[in-house]
Amino acid sequence: MSTVTTRPAPGTTAEPTTPPVPRRAFVEQVMGLPVSVHVRGAVDRPEVATAVGQVWGVLHRADAVFSTWRPDSDLMRLRRGDLSAAQVHPWLAEVEQLCVEAEQRTGGLFSASFDGAHHDPTGLVKGWAVERAALHLRHVPGISWCVNAGGDLLAGSGRETGPSTWNVGIEDPRNPGSVAATVALRAGGLATSGAAARGAHVVDPRTGAPVARAGSATVWGPTLLWADVWATALFVDPATGPATLVAADPAYRSLVL
């Protein structure tokens, strides 16, 4: 679990003569979780509200395509045989290809297939969908922003705007409510995988069994999509996963608790 704060990082002090940067937050329930968009800078521009509305639109559309809880989603209709592969949204093929790449990159620690009989491509959909949705925010001048999707975050800035720092607290999975570490995120994604909040929902693709252990794995780097994939991989195998990450994607950093 990750939380964002706008307070100064430990060891720093706020400059008292500097006027506060305008801020605004937007929240929507989508994909079965609360998603918030935090904006700094020219928050009253009409383009900001328009871009945030487009963010929600992309995420709701992704839910309509990929949800395993909605019987009318493209994925569930494909599973039932109500739609053919040629009839479903092209996002499904895109995500399937990313799942293949993710399995190769992680050495099988992340996979859409497990136990020889089950296939679920939705494990990377949240990070992928937030990345796609946030493209609308990148076109708005004069702002920096951070999208928080159930504790996984993507930070960036608009056109002709430098990024600002979002201090992200990483919760101690063995001591809920306490912060184990803080990451200063300026641009890119941060994701945490674990069982503290949702129980043993992460499946080890090598065995097909849920990972029922304490702890968590947090990964941050250039994109939320791959941070999310690697967080899952490192939670599945905290012993060999970090070395696999360093070898495959050295631009990413990790914290295994």
In the chain (257 residues long), the average pLDDT of successive 10-residue segments reads 53 58 96 96 95 98 96 95 96 96 96 77 94 97 96 93 91 90 96 78 87 91 98 96 96 97
Cα of 19 vs its chain's centroid, Å:
32
* 48-102 pLDDT per residue, tens: 999 999 999 999 999 999 999 999 999 999 999 999 999 999 999 999 999 999 9
Domain range 2-9+21-256, CATH class: alpha beta
CA-based nearest residue to 196, from 214, 223, 170:
214
- Can you give the pLDDT at residue 17? 60
- Can you give the pLDDT at residue 117? 61
Half-sphere exposure of 225 (CA within 13 A, CB side): 16
Q: Is 165 in a helix, a strand, or coil?
A: coil
Q: What does the alpha-carbon distance between residue 63 and residue 112 come to, in Å, rounded to a whole number?
A: 18
All structural domains of the chain with their residue ranges? 2-9+21-256
Encoded tokens for 178: 């306490």
Q: What does the alpha-carbon distance between residue 158 and residue 191 come to, in Å, rounded to a whole number?
A: 22
Q: What does the alpha-carbon distance between residue 34 and residue 72 come to, in Å, rounded to a whole number?
A: 22
- Can you give the pLDDT at residue 8? 44
Please say whether the beta carbons of 211 and 256 come within 8 A.
no
- Can you give the pLDDT at residue 119? 81
- Interhelix angle 125-134/46-66, nearest 10 degrees: 150
Q: What does the alpha-carbon distance between residue 52 and residue 39 come to, in Å, rounded to a whole number?
A: 10
Q: Is 53 in a helix, a strand, or coil?
A: helix
Q: What does the alpha-carbon distance between residue 109 and residue 235 come to, in Å, rounded to a whole number?
A: 9
Residue 253 is given by DSSP the state: E
- Can you give the pLDDT at residue 7? 47
- Total-model pTM: 0.89
